[in-house]
Amino acid sequence: MPATGILPATIGALLTEENVHLGVEASGKTELIRTLVAALASDPGEDLEQITGAVLEREALLSTGVGYGVALPHAKTGAVNETRVLFAITASPVEYDSFDGEPVRLIFLVVGPARSSRLHIQILGRISRILNDEHVRGLLIEAETASEVIAVFESAEAKLKPS
């Protein structure tokens, strides 16, 4: 589900069965990002190379592999008109140049227009808080359907203290 300038009540509200992908196959970071950007695109006319380039350019500044098997690739680009998200769980761990040196399995991709800085930061902050919980990460890895993933996010976020 696209996001407007205000963060929805929950991250779960941003997720739909269409933007949750399980069992994603990739041999490395670049292939993983390309696969996820292709899955994120909602308009056949979108410039996938420009979106992918923006995510990879951001990734070159500092890895978004935040540790504990989690990556939060993101970018702002003129190639999209609204903020979009995608959550993926890989079939097997993918080397990602993470801060802790460990491969990733849980990936939350955020792509938005340049003017979406506040929303972008809100989404990344909330996702970071949710995925910081080891129990939540375990539940996500065990999830077998997109609806289970969404339920895990909704439950975890309901337990967060207001920031």
Which residues are the active-site residues? 74
Q: CA 47, CA 53: separation in Å to the nearest integer?
A: 10
Q: CA 68, CA 132: separation in Å to the nearest integer?
A: 8
